[in-house]
Amino acid sequence: MNPTMLITQKERSALLQNQRGLAWLLAYAGILSAFALLLISNQELSLLDNAQVVYMMAGTVTAAGALIAVIIGADAYAGERERGTLVPLLTGPISTSELLMGKSLGLASAWGIMYLLSLPYLWSVGASGQNLGQAIIYLGLFGTPVVLGFGYLAMALSARSGSVMSSLLSSLIVLLFSTSPLLIGPGLRNSAIGKALDAVNPFSGALNTYDAVIIDSDPFNAQLGRLALVVIWLGLMFVFARISARRPAFR
Amino acid sequence: MKITTYLLAATLLLTSGLVSAASIELQVQPDPTNPSHPTMGDWMHFNSVISNTGTKPIEGLVAWISLVEVTPGKEQPMDLEDWSAHKAVTGTTLKPGEALKTQWPMRLIQNGGYRIVISATDRNNNAVFTSPTLQFHVAQKPVVESTRILPVALGIPLLIGGLLGARKYRGHHKTT
């Protein structure tokens, strides 16, 4: 088996085949369940259109996915260093590119599982409404580059700093800033600075796409600009991770 | 004679005040597109006409919509926070004979019996004028999709928790 697949298998087993690994999946399911239960227990929320609910669920899945990607990414190099396994990895028969690809595939596997786990939730809140199929497709199309991009950002910071805490904190601050559209109201987002931030924020790009497609039923060609934004975000973060992973901090 | 004159003058002053005070007329009608059997979650619209029937212009007109629940045992004024984003019209001037038409959209948040009324006053008036009330009943909507959401929201965490427990049990058995 080639080294990349070995690393991928190791990452996957750490995430899925031991107790601590499954705990993150339980926490993720807990977040989605809490939101779904809130919908049926709160009268005002239960009156929201199905499309609005599906949009909110897709945004929550993307945010939770990005958060977990940041945690996984922050552990990728700094965690190996703190466990004393980074030097053996770097001196073994595996190139830095293969190591990065293995870590990337492990991250992608985690997101794949989160995405699949979100499908029954999306179905349960949106089956009787509009655009559920589009929601599922666009969550994959836009959520994937956003989530993986944050994972690569955290990996890059992890490789540079050599500290899980430091890379996690830095990545979380960037993530928090990016998810601010979820927290601030439409009034602030409509200001000149709000619109400028929205134009370069990949998370906003994904959210605005979900809004346009799920609620307003806009066509695919109207989303091309935002698709370019999230793909550029993924590309830049991958390049950042690749450059950083060539010389990870191992002391 | 003097007393009569003074009384007449006072009466004229009072009635002239009353005439200028009674210069706002309000009418309200339900929009023809309103649902015939309103249910929780539906939108209703009410169309009002505020007319200046006096001889002086009305300045600084303020008109607002009020909602009262009249369900037996639950009578109360309602906070329009979630019901309507368009709660008032302010700062308008109406010349004599002029009328202002306004539409008041409202989302039906809760089931029950309700009445709405449009009220208006202006900066030079101590009186508040009201339209006739409109009454309507909002039917309850069944709790949304709980039969679909509950199995997923409870089942998936239980399933993952069960897997966790099974792994822990197997791990414990292997070591003992």
pLDDT, one tens digit per residue, over A12-46 is 777 776 666 788 889 899 999 998 888 766 655 55
Give the A:B interface size as CB pairs under 8 Å. 71
Domain borders along chain B are 23-139, 145-170
CA–CA gap between residue B88 and residue A178 (Å, rounded) = 36
CA–CA gap between residue A169 and residue B2 (Å, rounded) = 90
Is the Cβ pair B107, A47 closer than 8 Å?
yes
Is the Cβ pair A19, B154 closer than 8 Å?
no
Is the Cβ pair B152, A117 closer than 8 Å?
no
Which residue in B148, B154, B171 is closest to A127 by CB distance?
Answer: B148
Which residue in A29, A117, A124 is closest to B149 by CB distance?
Answer: A124
pLDDT at B19: 43
Which chain A residues contact residue B160 at CB under 8 A?
A: 22, 25-26, 29
Q: Is A22 on the interface with B (CB under 8 A)?
A: yes
Residue B5: pLDDT band with limits 50, 70, 90: low
Can you give the pLDDT of all 251 residues of chain A as single tens digits? 688 888 887 887 777 766 667 888 898 999 999 988 887 666 555 556 677 788 889 999 999 999 999 999 999 998 888 888 888 887 888 888 888 999 999 999 999 999 999 999 999 888 776 688 999 999 999 999 999 999 999 999 999 998 999 999 999 999 998 888 766 666 666 778 778 888 889 999 999 999 889 878 888 999 999 999 999 999 999 999 999 998 887 66
Paired with B101 in beta bridges are B49
Q: Is A183 on the interface with B (CB under 8 A)?
A: no
More confident residue, B167 or A83: A83
Is the Cβ pair B148, A23 closer than 8 Å?
no
Q: Is A13 on the interface with B (CB under 8 A)?
A: no
Which chain A residues contact residue B163 at CB under 8 A?
A: 22
pLDDT, one tens digit per residue, over B57-103 is 999 999 999 999 999 999 999 988 778 878 898 878 999 999 999 99
Is the Cβ pair A40, B141 closer than 8 Å?
no
Residue B20: pLDDT band with limits 50, 70, 90: very low
Task: Please list, in sequence order, all residues whose beta carbon lies within 8 angstroms of the beta carbon of residue A54, skipping any fewer than 6 positions away.
Answer: A122, A125, A126, A129, A131, A132, A135, A214
Which chain B residues contact residue A22 at CB under 8 A?
A: 160, 163-164, 167
pLDDT at A149: 97
Alpha-carbon torsion, ordered B73, B76, B81, B87, to 10 deg: 130
- Does residue B13 register a pLDDT over 70? no
Is the Cβ pair A128, B145 closer than 8 Å?
yes
Is the Cβ pair A36, B152 closer than 8 Å?
yes
pLDDT at B125: 80
pLDDT, one tens digit per residue, over B94-146 is 999 999 999 999 988 888 999 999 999 998 888 999 999 999 999 987 545 66
ipTM of the complex: 0.80
3-state SS record for chain A: CCHHHHHHHHHHHHHHCCHHHHHHHHHHHHHHHHHHHHHHHCHHHHCCCHHHHHHHHHHHHHHHHHHHHHHHHHHHCHHHHHHCCHHHHHHCCCCHHHHHHHHHHHHHHHHHHHHHHHHHHHHHHHCCCCCHHHHHHHHHHHHHHHHHHHHHHHHHHHHHHCCHHHHHHHHHHHHHHHCHHHHCCHHHHCCHHHHHHHHHCHHHHHHHHHHHHHHCCCCHHHHHHHHHHHHHHHHHHHHHHHHHHHCCCCC
Is the Cβ pair B160, A39 closer than 8 Å?
no
Task: Report the percent of chain B where pLDDT is more than 90.
Answer: 49
Is the Cβ pair A40, B143 closer than 8 Å?
yes
Is the Cβ pair B168, A46 closer than 8 Å?
no
Inter-residue contact B43 to B105 (CB < 8 Å): yes
Q: Which of A2, A208, A167 lies closest to A81 in space, CA to CA?
A: A167
pLDDT at B11: 53
Q: Is A42 on the interface with B (CB under 8 A)?
A: no
Chain B: give the shortest CA distance to residue A122, in Å.
10
Which chain A residues contact residue B150 at CB under 8 A?
A: 37, 40
Which chain B residues contact residue A36 at CB under 8 A?
A: 149, 152-153
Which chain B residues contact residue A37 at CB under 8 A?
A: 149-150, 153
Q: What is the pTM of this model?
A: 0.69
| Second CATH level (architecture) for the domain B23-139 | Sandwich (2.60)
Is the Cβ pair B145, A124 closer than 8 Å?
yes
